[in-house]
Amino acid sequence: MADTFVSDFHVRSQAGEPCAAVSVRNLSTNLYAASDAWGRKCTAAPQPCLISAQVHFKQPFGTAAANDQLGADTVHYGNLSKAILERMKRFTVPREQQQQQQQQSTSSGGTGGSDSSTFTLAYVIHDLWVGLTGWAHFGSVKEEERPFLDLSTVKFLSLTVTLPKASLLGDGVSMTCSQFFKNGPGDKMRENPISASLKIHNLKVPTLVGVNPHERRAKQFVTTSVNVERYFRMDDYYSELERLVVKALDESSYETLEALGAHLADKILEPDHKKDHTKWQVHIRMEKPTAVPLADCPIVEVRAGYGFPAPGRPNAS
């Protein structure tokens, strides 16, 4: 499964610049799904959720541009928003109602879906993907019901589901799925480049880092974002990932952000007998707001993992 994923940058570069696009940003709802900032399943109380969608088309707007009327060459952003919220309804009710809906679906001949305890962030975004495209994000399962989008007209699709309260020290977590529909729908669906990534936004952690004498005497805030590309896990790993990142920053005694970023990447990609991180790509972005008085902040970014040389070591090629 891991070999089917590429980075979001790769998918977007393959798709190229769109000649026509429709987007919806930060559509708001509540979820009785996924885990909260402490890693607890949100089955008894909801958490806020923001959904963004980007749809790029293969052809320029025709009817809509020429006749000022909506046609098959575009998608109404209002209907797109309604389709997303309608699909998300299964996650916006308490667990008891979810179980009743599953039982009703099973009794009427449906599959009933997964137990609500498995409604992770990854499950939610993949279910939304199926509702819009008719296909699982892995490109191997086609849903029976008619999807919202006509994939014969779509060049690129990206979905992001953000949980703004699912981080203790940051601005939330998000998962993004994207696909370039190179071959369109059909038997070759699995050949279309796809990506999935998990991101923790703007962790603010007091950190001992810096080369100047005064920076060695006290900790300063370092704002760190971690994006894990080629992410194919279905569990809510973000709480564990945040704890790992915060611990590494809290224990830091590095002088440079470059060395700290390389160390942090090594910690995230560290082999674990329970997990396979060998296919991950990690993008770490670190800011020091107080380091340069006349700038908002200096920024250092580190990319490591699958396809990248290890930080601190030259590329063998």
pTM higher than 0.75: yes
Strands (E), the chain: 5-6, 21-31, 47-57, 154-163, 173-180, 194-207, 220-229, 281-287, 299-305
3 state SS for 173-239:
EEEEEEEECCCCCCCCHHHCCEEEEEEEEEEEEEECCCCCHHHHCCCEEEEEEEEEECCCCCCCCHH
pLDDT in the model for residue 136: 81
Angle (nearest 5°) at CA 280 between 286 and 141: 130
Neighbouring residues of 277: CB distance < 8 A, sequence distance ≥ 6: 268, 269, 270, 271, 305
Q: Is 271 helix (H, G, I), strand (E, B) or coil?
A: coil
Say how many residues make up the chain: 317
pLDDT tens for the chain, 317 residues: list them.
446 789 999 999 999 998 889 999 999 999 999 999 999 998 888 999 999 999 999 888 765 555 555 555 567 888 899 999 999 999 988 866 655 655 555 454 444 445 555 799 999 999 999 999 988 876 666 665 688 888 888 999 999 999 999 999 999 999 999 999 887 665 566 678 899 999 999 999 999 998 989 888 999 999 999 999 999 888 999 999 999 999 999 998 999 999 999 999 999 998 775 566 788 999 999 999 988 888 999 999 999 998 888 776 544 43
- Distance, CA of 119 to CA of 100 (rounded, Å): 15
CATH of region 2-305: 3.30.1130.10
User: C-alpha distances in angstroms, 224 versus 117, 219, 301?
Assistant: 30, 15, 10
- Distance, CA of 284 to CA of 304 (rounded, Å): 9
Tokens of 195: 């990506």
Tokens of 91: 């996650």
Q: Which residue(s) pair with 159 in the sheet? A: 53, 177
Long-range contacts of 78-82 (CB under 8 A, 24+ apart): 79/148, 80/22, 80/24, 80/53, 80/55, 80/148, 81/24, 81/27
- DSSP 8-state secondary structure symbol assigned to residue 286: E
Q: Is 20 helix (H, G, I), strand (E, B) or coil?
A: coil
pLDDT in the model for residue 317: 36
